[in-house]
A and B are shown apart, each in its own frame.
Chain A
Amino acid sequence: MDENIRKVSEELDSAAPGLTHQEAIEAFRIRFLGRKGTVSALFEQLGTVPKEQRGQIGKQLNDLKNKAQGLIDAATAGQQNSVINTRTDLTLPGYPVQFGKLHPLTVVMNEMIEIFRFLGFSVASGPELEHDWYNFEALNFEHDHPARDMQDTYFIDRDLLLRTHTSPVQIRVMESQKPPIRSIMPGRVYRNEAVSARSYCLFHQLEGLLVDKNVSFVDLKTILLAFAREFFGPQTKIKLRPSFFPFTEPSAEVDVSCHLCHGKGCRVCKHTGWLEILGCGMVDPNVLKACNVDPEEYSGYAFGMGIDRIAMMRYGIDDIRLLWDNNQRFLQQF
């Protein structure tokens, strides 16, 4: 036993100079003081030592243990000092701080909101669970009219539904506020459409509404061009095509010159040079009437766009489902 203790003590001495870094110290601790370490093993053999020698051997073992611990303590202290005392290795990496990121849809949405706030619009919001009145009726969607087929609707009951567009917030704003009104309404909307790479059953819209005296299509076109140039770049052009939305008249689709190819044609714009991103029009007199605004005194314009499609175009995302999978490695890219 004496012999064994002396041997281990020598091993301690020879291993001591190697205690120059954390891993070595830890390996040293496990080798000698760990549950299966050599010192611990000696303690276990203590039972086999004759009774009369046990006190003596026990003391030797305790000394050995203390010696090992002392070496560890000294090396650890030296470690801590070494960072300060010896010349620091500045190539070591900094301690990582990982910020979270905003979801790409929030990034795009915020950017749009900031542009419109700069142009004098307030942000308004409304519920996602809506009444038929706000989502359709007040927006001049007649009952039993094919216009209702334009938007596949999720129903909760006969009256309640998941809003199919952010337009019901237009009605809520006009109910709670007298003109002049200048609002934008960002939010989540729902359509009962099969999920694929190109379409999802919910998406985000940003809609704008301005009601005042003497508002005309010229004002609408002006604000849309201002937005397009802020968002897509100063060279951007816009083109309006007549279209149909029940709540605006006249209505138009707005094409924006492709910011990737500058109108020359590329894959993203399907070689047309134009991107279809926006719908707009003058607020239909029926909508103003539904909100007790006199269409002879006031006129207004409204516009709306889908955030998700614009975000996909901007970041080159080819599958809309990626936006909803929330894979950390995807989200960290924005």
Chain B
Amino acid sequence: MFAMDLSATVLCCTPSYAAYLGERMKELGYGPDDIPLKAGIFGAEAWSEEMRKDIEKTLGIKAFDIYGLTELSGPGVAFECSAQSGMHINEDHFIAEIIDPDTEEVLPEGSVGELVFTAVDKEAFPMIRYRTKDICKLTREKCSCGRTHIKMAKPMGRSDDMLIIRGVNVFPSQIETVLMNNGYAANYQIIVDRVNNTDTFDVQVEMTPEMFTDNIGEIEARQRKLSDDLKAMLGIKAKVSLLAPKSIARSEGKAVRVVDKRKI
């Protein structure tokens, strides 16, 4: 294990990868005392307090949450402190506000709404009241760590339909684009689940006359092409399965596009 060879003391990755490392360690017969790691900084996807406790126990570390946005500075927008109760926003660089996503009005402190950032010292790529689409809450309270920077809670959801799968942002419209580019109707459903701490990503597509042929090898080739195109578009692999027409659940005539079974 690299962490041992290099005597690494801090691990930075997605929480699901950290959980995976913990499991692998157990399988290989290593305990938390066998590795030099002291702390972990985990972000880019949603994770729960239970998952934090689990990672802390198996790796023998303190696990901290981190929040960032590629458009602002990447990681480094907000970090958890030793109190592990919300992330301090680096207010000397970013002004944070919570707005009502519908009216765009700024909401008072402690309200749940969409997080908006203004970058104070960014050059060449200014950001003024940039809407993150992340739904969350800001509180300015005296922290036990002594810092006075405003704290943000873990994002609770999105104001748009973006999904985060294996740490990658996925919009249902991207799947639609791939289907349309291949000349198929966009009758699809995304099913996301988490199995053994890893997100599973299934795209179910209803068969159309354009996709169908009497040649089973050709249909499989079209299925593979969709999978390859999705990988090229999203950067992560999806399992594409073909369903009978009209088999995707519809609610009030509209197909249900996303089924997220992950329990976080």
Mutual binders A and B = no
Residues of B within 8 A of A (CB): none
